[in-house]
Structure formats: C-alpha cells, structure tokens
Copies of this chain bind each other. A is one copy, B any other.
C-alpha cells in the first residue's frame, strides 16, 4: 500500500481558473487576478468570488454592486499577472485593457477577453480574512471565433490555469473524454 503523506491544511484547488475580476472604483475600471471563483447556484445562475478583504476591488464592489468576470486567453499572461502584482490603490489599471459596458453600466468588461460575464452583486458572505461575493450573471459576451456549434469552446478561448503554492500558470491540454457519457459503461443495465 502506497504511503500517504500529510501536506497540511493550506491546499488549493488543482487547478484554479485564471480570471480578471473587474469593478469600477470612482468611475474608473480596475481589475484584479482572481482564481477563487465558482458557480454556486444553477437557477438563477449565481457565481461566487473569494476576495481578500484588503483588496481595492472591495470598495468598487460595494460602490456599484456590480462586477465582471473576464476569462483572458493565454497570450494575455503578462497583463493578467501584472493585475495580481499591483493594487489599484497604488496604480491606475484602467488603461490596461480596452473596456466596454453592458446593461449594468458599471461592470467593466474586457474587450480583449474571449469570454466575459456581467454580474450584479446579490449577496456577500464574510469569512475571517476574505469576503465571498455572490453575483447573478445577467449577461455574457464572447465572439463567433471562440465558439463551436453555438457553445464557447475552451480550445478556442485558450484560458490560463493556476496552481499554488508553486505559483505556475498552465494552459489546457487534450480532450480526455465526454462527461455524463464515458462512465456509462460502468452503469449496470
């Protein structure tokens, strides 16, 4: 029997998605790198974001009650990492990306990103060091070039992944099989 090694409690999801969380602060767009993000509800479509309480982004979320989740493609890696290196408290990141707005008017969407979600803040849950912001997805934006058969295609989106604590970015690899399908051979008839 292979021996298991205990690796402590501060373990992260393998892998995390790499997104840019966009808010307006004082009418100016700001973006933070965000890997702590997941859908939390099916209907209506709700998405949750774990954000350190000290982040500049928090003030924008509270100010406008809107935010965006943008999925950058791998070619944007330097800018994405830069967003995680510097705070909007110290640096104006509003000129980093061309931005557009949807019906919420205050959630800055990144034109260069192959997929953007526009969200209205509906709830927040406080944890000791982080705030978990929950938004309803009110619209999403992509382009024909990132779709196959009417659906976003991850091979065309080419997003980044993140692992911690080794702090490495990754791209998505090969198709491994189809979900709700490849396991059917194990279902007894």
A residues engaging B (CB < 8 A)? 1-17, 19, 36-48, 50, 52, 71, 74, 77-86, 91, 100, 111, 115, 117, 125, 127-130, 132, 134, 136-145, 147-149, 151-154, 157, 159-188
Given contacts A11-B115, A127-B40, A130-B42, contact A2 B181 (CB under 8 A): no
Given A36-B40, A85-B187, A13 and B17 contact (CB-CB distance below 8 Å): yes
Supposing A13-B38, A15-B161, A139-B6 touch, asked if A128 and B44 sit within 8 A by C-beta, the answer is yes
In contact, B7 and A141 (Cβ under 8 angstroms): yes
Residues in B neighbouring A19, C-beta threshold 8 A: 13
Q: Which residues of the other chain, B, contact A162 by a CB distance below 8 angstroms? A: 179
For the A-B complex with A9-B139, A36-B40, A81-B179 known, give 12 more contacts whose Cβ atoms are closer than 8 Å.
A8-B139, A13-B17, A14-B71, A40-B50, A41-B128, A43-B129, A48-B48, A48-B132, A82-B186, A85-B183, A85-B187, A173-B173
Return 22 A-B CB contacts under 8 Å, by A number.
A9-B45, A9-B136, A9-B140, A13-B37, A14-B17, A14-B152, A14-B154, A15-B161, A40-B125, A40-B130, A43-B128, A78-B186, A80-B183, A81-B177, A85-B187, A86-B187, A151-B165, A154-B170, A160-B176, A170-B172, A170-B173, A170-B176
